[in-house]
Structure 1
Amino acid sequence: MSGFPREELEDMVQHWLDTNRRCEELGDWRPLAELYTEDATYGWNIGPHQDFMAVGRDEIRDLALGSEMGGLDGWSYPYQSVLIDDRKGEVVGFWKQVAEAKRPDGSPYEVAGIGGSWFRYAGDRQWSWQRDWFDLGNVTSLFVEMMKAEVLSDGMKRRLDRAASGEPIPGYYRRGESPAPLW
């Protein structure tokens, strides 16, 4: 693990945050793929028996930022805090998941708990990997609440139908069998 100048990492973080905000406004996170190396990996855990892993910029674009973020148009992921380790070239960001849809009392639908991303910087304004975490129980609870209130987007309804179909989903692996480890 080699370090990077603090200023370079701070520039990368600001570039990431700015690009992320533009993608939120567009409702399309796929342009973020250009901020990963060609051979980067991006994954997260989906409970006790399953992980998600995208390998390479194309899978990151198509699966992680395309299929998996599909249906989350109108959602924002405001970063609450970002920690930079310039000796290791790693960044950790803590974010919220907030839906555009509002409850009858006017408050936004928001996932409770802490979500975040852990990145390894590769230089040249690109990540070599990203690992996310979020509270799956709170995500599930919120989606059930939104379903009952009939405020889920059509895209999210399609994602939930896909998940319930029992068909294999690209990028999903049994725990410990993904092509790149989470750790």
Structure 2
Amino acid sequence: MGKFSRAELEEALHHYVEVVDRCSATEDWSPFADLFTEDVEYIEHAYGIMHGREEVRRWIVSVMKPFPQMRFPHEWIAFDEDNDAIVISIRNVLDHPTEAGVEFWFPNISRIVYAGDGLFASEEDTYNPARDAPRVVGEWVQAGGVLRSAPQEQMKHVFTR
């Protein structure tokens, strides 16, 4: 058994989802970093490993700058209570610019580890944006979507299969 109850893990996840949804709605991604401990380790398979809340803040604001309205609804959740971890299947979604209900998306699996006091000690995102994002973002742009800026972050690890 981990340090935290299932109820506390569920409450922390609920808060995490609320903050992510608010970041997308307001297009301000800075509060996302406040979900984590000051010494968080954030493993991002395409962009590298970040250490510390402020490094995560700089990265998330920068990486989301072209499409700050991207949403991240989840499809399923698994609780690993022995390790205070939550695994989430997420869709990285850009809504169609003119047709309600039409989405452009690619999959992502995230594992977050709870540290207590509403904060997470780590996150690991497992997906392949080098393969998936150009197609999805390209289709969204063809449908009339407009990037708010040129990409600000370069992927460090590129897997195209």
TM-score grouping bracket, smaller chain normalisation? 0.7 to 0.9
Q: Identify which of 125, 133, 140 aligns with 1:146.
A: 140
Which residue in 2 is equivalent to 1:92? 87
CA contact (8 A) 2:86 2:111 kept: yes
Deviations 1:94-148 (A, max 9, x none): 1112213347x76634124x21211111111111110112232121212233344
Larger Rg: 1
Q: Identify which of 68, 78, 99 aligns with 1:83.
A: 78
Task: Determine whether 1:69 maps to 2:85.
Answer: no
Q: Tell me which amino acid in the other structure corresponds to 1:31.
A: P
User: Equivalent pairs: percent with the same residue?
Assistant: 23
Q: How do 1:1-183 residues align onto structure 2 when only pairs under 5 Å count?
A: 2-46=2-46, 51-63=47-59, 65-102=60-97, 108-112=102-106, 114-136=107-129, 137-149=131-143, 151-155=145-149, 158-159=150-151, 162=152, 173=156
Unaligned runs of 5+ in 2: none
Q: Which moved more, 1:142-151 or 1:94-103?
A: 142-151
Q: CA deviation at 1:85?
A: 1.3
Q: Tell me which amino acid in the other structure corresponds to 2:113.
A: R
> What secondary structure is seen at the aligned counterpart in 2 of 1:121?
strand
TM-score normalised by structure 1 residue count = 0.74
CA contact (8 A) 2:114 2:121 kept: yes
Give the ranges of 4+ consecutive aligned residues of structure 1 lying more than 6 Å apart after TM superposition.
none
CA contact (8 A) 2:35 2:120 kept: yes
Which residue in 2 is equivalent to 1:180? none
Structure 1: how far apart are the matches of 2:53 and 2:24? Answer: 19
Q: What is the number of equivalent residue pairs in this alignment?
A: 157
Q: Alpha carbons of 1:67 and 1:91: their partners in 2 closer, same or farther (altered >3 Å)?
A: same
CA contact (8 A) 2:67 2:148 kept: no
Structure 1: how far apart are the matches of 2:133 and 2:146? Answer: 13
TM-score normalised by structure 2 residue count = 0.83
> What secondary structure is seen at the aligned counterpart in 2 of 1:111?
strand
CA contact (8 A) 1:2 1:89 kept: yes
